[in-house]
Amino acid sequence: MLVAILPGDGIGPEVTAQAKRVLDALAIPGMTYEEAPVGGAAYKAKGHPLPPETLDLAKRADAILFGAVGDPDCDSLERALRPEQAILGLRKELTLFSNLRPAKMFPELADASTLRKEVAEKIDLLIVRELNGDVYFGEKGMRQTADGLREGYDIMSYNEAEVRRIAHSAFRAARARRGLLCSVDKANVLETSQLWRDVVIEVAADYPDITLSHMYVDNAAMQLVRNPGQFDVIVTGNLFGDILSDQASMCVGSIGMLASASLDANGKGLYEPIHGSAPDIAGQGKANPLATILSAAMMLRFSLGQADAADRIEAAVAKALAGGARSADLGGTLSTSAMGDAVLAAL
C-alpha cells in the first residue's frame, strides 16, 4: 500500500512529520511512503502548485496524507498559480467529492472551548461537505460594468447528480452514527439550494431509518454555538461547509484538533487537518500536530483497511491529552515535536 505524503507550506511540513513518526511507530507491514512538494513550496521548486509528478503520485497512491497549503509570498500570483489551487486541483482531479469533518469534544479539552463547558461537552457531530462543486468551481472572473466599474463574479451551481452522490454519502454516514441528518442550505434565497433541498428529499426515500431535517445556513451557524449537541450529521455544500467546519472546530477547543477525509466513490481519499498553513507560526514548533495525526488515523480506517491501527492512534491521542499534553493553541507550552513525543509515548 502506497501512501503519498504531501507536506505543503507553512506548518504543513512540521505537522505531517509528526504524523509520519506515528505511522512509522505502528510499523504496518506492506506500507510504503513517497513524498512530493505541493502548494507554494511546489511553485517555488517547480513553477506550479500542483506539478505533474505530484498529481501522478497522488493518482498512484492508495491514500494521500496532506499537510496544508498557503503562502503569503504567492498572494500576488495569478489565481491559477496560487498554492490553494493545489488542494482544489487534487479534490477535482481525483473526484474527492465527499469531505468528512468530524468534531467531537475530547472531555479533557472542555476548558479550551470558547463555549460554556456544559454546552461544549455535548458536541459529537460530523460535517459532510461537498467538495467538487458550488461557487468554488463555477465560472469566475473580473469584468467591467457598463458604467466602467470593476466587477468580480463567481457562479454558484449544483447539478442533481452532484447533490445526489453527496446526499447518499451523508445518509450512509448518518446510518453509521445516531441516525440524524440535517441538510444545511439557503433555499429561502438561492435556486442552487432549492435544487439541493429537493434532491436530498428524494434521496431520503432510500433511507427510511434516518431522520432528515433542513436548516438555513445562517440559522445553522447560530445553532452551532447555541446548542451544538443537537447535531449528528450535517450535510452541506462546498462554501457553507467550509465556513461551518471552521466554526465547529473552535467549538471543540481548537482548530488544531480537527481531522478530515476527502473521499471518492471508491473509498480512496486525501486526509488533511482542516487548519491552514499558519505562516505566522511556521517553523517555530508551535503548531499542534494532533489534527494531522488524527487525519492519519482516518486514513488507516477509511482507505487502508487498518481499523485497529486507527483505534490505537485515537486512543493514544486521548491518553496524551488526559496526561496533560497541551500545545500553545490548547493553552499549554508543548512544542510540535513534544506533542508528537507524547502521542508516541502513549502509543
Helix axes 336-346, 307-322, angle to 10 degrees: 110
Of 82-90, 100-108, 112-120, 234-242, the window that binds Mg ion (rule: CB under 5 A) is: 234-242
Smallest separation, CB 70 to ligand IPM (Å): 6
Total number of residues that touch Mg ion (CB under 5 A): 1
Q: What is the dihedral of CA 79, 83, 87, 88, to 10 degrees?
A: 0
Q: Is the alpha carbon torsion for 277, 283, 288, 289 positive or negative?
A: positive
341 is catalytic: no
Q: Could you say which of 20, 186, 268, 286 is catalytic?
A: 186
242 is catalytic: yes
Conformation bin of residue 149: beta by default, left when phi > 0, alpha when psi is -120 to 50: beta
Given 274, 298, 328, 334, the residue binding ligand IPM (CB under 6 A): 274
Cell of 193: 439550494
87 binds ligand IPM (CB under 6 A): yes
**Residues 6 or more apart from 21 whose CB is under 8 A from it?**
340, 344
Smallest separation, CB 88 to ligand IPM (Å): 6
154 is catalytic: no
Q: Could you say which of 242, 268, 271, 329 is catalytic?
A: 242
In this chain, which residue has its C-beta nearest to Mg ion? 242
71 binds Mg ion (CB under 5 A): no
Smallest separation, CB 101 to Mg ion (Å): 9
**Long-range contacts at 104-107 (CB < 8 A, ≥ 24 apart):** 104/252, 105/252, 105/253, 106/252, 106/253, 106/257, 106/317, 106/318, 106/321
- In sequence order, what are the beta bridge partners of 262? 99, 270
206 is catalytic: no
Backbone angles phi, psi at 141, to 5 degrees: 175, -175
136 is catalytic: yes
Q: Could you say which of 24, 56, 111, 218 is catalytic?
A: 218
The SS3 assignment for 18 reads helix
242 binds Mg ion (CB under 5 A): yes
Placement of cell 460554556 in the chain: 116
84 binds ligand IPM (CB under 6 A): yes
Q: Which of residues 223-252 bind ligand IPM (CB under 6 A)?
A: 242
With CB cut-offs between 5 and 8 Å by kind, which of Mg ion, ligand IPM, none does residue 84 bind? ligand IPM
Report the catalytic residues. 136, 186, 218, 242, 246
In the complex, the residues that contact Mg ion under the rule CB under 5 A are 242
**Contact residues for ligand IPM, defined by CB under 6 A:** 70, 84, 87-88, 242, 274, 276
